[in-house]
Amino acid sequence: MAKLTFKSAKKATGVGKLVEKTIKFRDEIGEEFEGEILVKILSHDEKNNAINHWKLKDRKTATLDQLTKAILFEAIYSEEDERFFPTIQSTGEVPTEIIDAMYQAADEVLDFSGKKWISKQKNSGVNSSSTESVEEPSRKPSDE
């Protein structure tokens, strides 16, 4: 096991790196459109401070929509040195379907809630005793 340092922790987690993801949405005639975006692996502070792009007087007044768009503004890139959205306000100029697709792609990379990490831990057998006691639901006789 290697000694953990600040530098090695950042490198291991990929902070600052861009991960290519494919998103899909409907185009103007209802056909599926797919494109590539880059998702930046954000540090804790970058995620936490993304809401500051809205320049709110009180961060506590931020809506979920503002927080979602702030995260996307911070994390989504079209090129290595070019954010997808030119301004925080421009995040609202695309349909909700694109916002949702981008957020799902960002969640795949950033695991906002930690659910992928938790699921991976459970499935790796770390805590298999809790999953072994789950019973199968009882079957009801059919009325045929």
* pLDDT tens readout for residues 32-71: 999 999 999 999 999 999 999 999 999 999 999 999 999 9
**6 Cβ contact list (under 8 Å, min separation 6):** none
Predicted pLDDT of residue 118: 60
Sequence spans of domains, the chain: 14-111
Predicted pLDDT of residue 114: 73
Which CATH number is associated with domain 14-111? 3.30.2220
Q: Is the pTM of this model over 0.85?
A: no
Predicted pLDDT of residue 105: 97
Tokens of 30: 């209802």
Between 79 and 1, the more confident residue is: 79
What separation in angstroms does the CA of 103 have from each of 9, 50, 67, 109, 142?
A: 25, 14, 11, 10, 43
Bridging pattern class, strands 76-79 and 82-83: antiparallel
Tokens of 63: 């809506």
Reported as a single tens digit per residue, the pLDDT across 77-133 is: 999 999 999 999 999 999 999 999 999 999 999 998 777 666 666 676 655 444 444
